[in-house]
Structures are given as structure tokens and as C-alpha cells.
Amino acid sequence: MHKIMYKKYFIFILVFSFVALSTFAQNEKLTEAENAYKANNFEQALKLYSEVETQGYTSSELLYNMGNCYYKLNKVAPAILYYERAKLLSPTDVDIETNLALANSKVTQKVDKLPEIMISTWIDSLSKNLDSNTWAYISILAFVAFVGMIGVFIFSLSVNVRKTMMVLGIFTLLVSGVTYFFASKQFTAHAERRYAIVFEPSIVARSAPSGGGTELFTIHEGIKIEVVKLDGEWAEIKLSDGKVGWLPVSAFTKI
């Protein structure tokens, strides 16, 4: 019995030590990367940031810093890619939004957006004010409040209290439903990775998933596309102006 307990303690200490050392090493590299960036050694900073990312660590700050390194190295497409990835984790961060707009201004091709229904635009904008986890927490809290109000409604003897609980209960249930929808919308956007950034300097979108398809239009490096569906080594893509065509999967990197 004692041997088993000692073995468990040993494994626990070993795992804890490994995690602690890994965290320390990551922090060391992040500090080195920040110092390299401040010294205008952007290639070294990017190398160190990339090593931390490869180890499985990610955060909006890390992705944002990598985007800054790429931008300083005049690599517009990777900069946009990492700013977009950072934005998924921190959709309301002003610095990310500002630098993303700056990087997009460097893209030679401009693609107009199709006009959207006002309510759809408003809902999309509102859902991006918070990340999926925050919306989920709000939804859970609202639902717990709803359950509590139902309890008060059932057991209260006061007519006024019951009326108040009914109104507030309906309101909190609606809040729970709406915030759940927002959480689901944000989570889906992050999980499905439907959008991508074109990395080819210039590539032609075709009418079919093959090199023999009719040439439709040209797309340049840095353009954001929506990946509609995949067919082997090809993907049907859509631009913000509504144009649809096929590109090789190798031509873009998903956000």
C-alpha cells in the first residue's frame, strides 16, 4: 500500500515539475522575444514566439505579437493571418483591430463587401463584443436566475411577487437564449475555421476543382476568403463581394 502511494506521489511530483519547467521555459522565451522585438530584431523575436506556439501555448497576445513581427518584416499575408487569429480570441481588442486594418491597407487588391441586412449586421457586431466563453457564462447565470425565479413563483403566496417573477423569469430566459446563441456563434466561428488568408502573390480562381476549369477572377496575397467546401486538393471559396470560385488548398492558410 505504501509503495503504491509513494509511486503516485512520485508521478505527481514528476508531472508537476515538468509542467513548472515548461511554463518557466515558455516565460523565458517570451521575455527573450520581447527583448528581441524592442531591439528591432524581429526575425529572432518571431522565431522565439513561433517556438512557444509550437509547444502548444496560445493567447491573443502571443498571436498579436507574431502578427506585429510579420508586419515589421513586411510580410503582409502572415501578419493579417495572425491578427485575425488574435481577433478570434479577443474580438474587442482595439490594438488588434487597428493593426489589422493597417495590415489590410497594404493589400494591393481591394474587395468590396456586399450590402448586408441591417439587423444581421447588428447581431453579428453585437455577438463579437465578447468571446464565446463570456457569452456562455452569461447564458448559464441567466438560466440559473430563471430557475430561481421559477422557484419563487411556485412557492410564493403573494400575487404581486408571482407576477414580478413571471416577467423577470421570461426576461432572463430570453437573455439566456440570446447569449447562448451568441456563444454558439462565436464558438462555431472559431472551431470551423471557415475563413482563410491567401498566401499566393497572385492566383486565378477557377470554375471547377481542377486546373482545367475556366478562369474566373484573380485573387492577390493577403485577401481574406471564406472556405465554402473542400474537394480533394481544391476548395470552393467565396469573396466578400459575392464572387465564388475554386482555388488549390495550398494557396491559402486557414485562420
Same domain, 250 and 201: yes
Residue 74, Ramachandran bin (φ over 0: left; ψ between -120 and 50: alpha; else beta): left
What pLDDT shows up at residue 223? Answer: 97
Cα 15 from Cα 30, distance rounded (Å): 22
Q: Establish how many alpha carbons lie within 13 A of residue 158's alpha carbon, considering only the half-sphere containing its beta carbon.
A: 6
Last residue of a domain, one of 170, 192, 214: 192
Q: Is the pLDDT of residue 59 over 50?
A: yes
Identify whether 219 is part of a domain.
yes
Q: Is residue 233 exposed (0-12), middle (13-18) or buried (19+ Cβ within 10 Å)?
A: exposed
Question: In this predicted model, what pLDDT tens digit does every residue of 204-243 receive, in sequence order?
Answer: 999 999 989 999 999 999 999 999 999 999 999 999 999 9
Identify whether 137 is part of a domain.
yes
What pLDDT shows up at residue 185? Answer: 84
Cα 62 from Cα 68, distance rounded (Å): 10
Same domain, 187 and 199: no
Higher pLDDT, 214 or 92: 214
What pLDDT shows up at residue 173? Answer: 96
Confidence label for 8 from pLDDT (cuts 50, 70 and 90): low
Question: In this predicted model, what pLDDT tens digit does every residue of 147-166 receive, in sequence order?
Answer: 999 999 999 989 999 999 99
DSSP string, 122-143: HHHHHHTTS-HHHHHHHHHHHH
Which of 127, 52, 42, 57 is closest to 92 using CA atoms? 127
Q: Is the pLDDT of residue 11 over 70?
A: no
For the chain, first and last CA: distance in Å?
51
Same domain, 221 and 153: no
**Is residue 86 a contact partner of residue 96, using CB atoms and an 8 Å limit?**
yes
pTM of the model: 0.72
Give 40's DSSP letter. Answer: T
Identify whether 36 is part of a domain.
yes
What pLDDT shows up at residue 4? Answer: 57
The answer to which of 57-61, 63-67, 89-93 has the lowest mean pLDDT is: 89-93
Cβ-Cβ contacts under 8 Å for 159 (sequence gap 6 or more): none
Identify whether 111 is part of a domain.
no
Same domain, 145 and 185: yes
DSSP string, 197-209: EE-SSEEEEESSS
Count, residues in the chain: 255
Identify whether 14 is part of a domain.
yes
DSSP string, 55-90: TT---HHHHHHHHHHHHHTT-HHHHHHHHHHHHHH-
Confidence label for 91 from pLDDT (cuts 50, 70 and 90): confident
Question: In this predicted model, what pLDDT tens digit does every residue of 94-141 receive, in sequence order?
Answer: 999 999 999 999 998 988 887 766 777 778 778 878 878 889 999 999
Confidence label for 16 from pLDDT (cuts 50, 70 and 90): very low
CATH number at residue 213: 2.30.30.40
Distances from the Cα of 84 to the Cα of 69, 88, 137, 236, angstroms: 14, 6, 24, 21
Last residue of a domain, one of 55, 79, 104: 104
Q: Where are the alpha helices (DSSP H) in the chain?
A: 2-38, 42-54, 60-72, 76-89, 94-104, 118-127, 132-155, 159-192
Residue 42's domain comprises: 2-104
- Look at the chain and report how many structural domains it folds into: 3
Higher pLDDT, 180 or 2: 180
Question: In this predicted model, what pLDDT tens digit does every residue of 191-206 receive, in sequence order?
Answer: 778 899 999 999 999 9
Identify whether 153 is part of a domain.
yes
Which of 239, 204, 10 is closest to 111 using CA atoms? 239
Confidence label for 25 from pLDDT (cuts 50, 70 and 90): low
Q: Is the pLDDT of residue 146 over 70?
A: yes
Confidence label for 10 from pLDDT (cuts 50, 70 and 90): very low
- 171 SS3 class: helix
Question: In this predicted model, what pLDDT tens digit does every residue of 33-48 receive, in sequence order?
Answer: 999 999 999 999 999 9
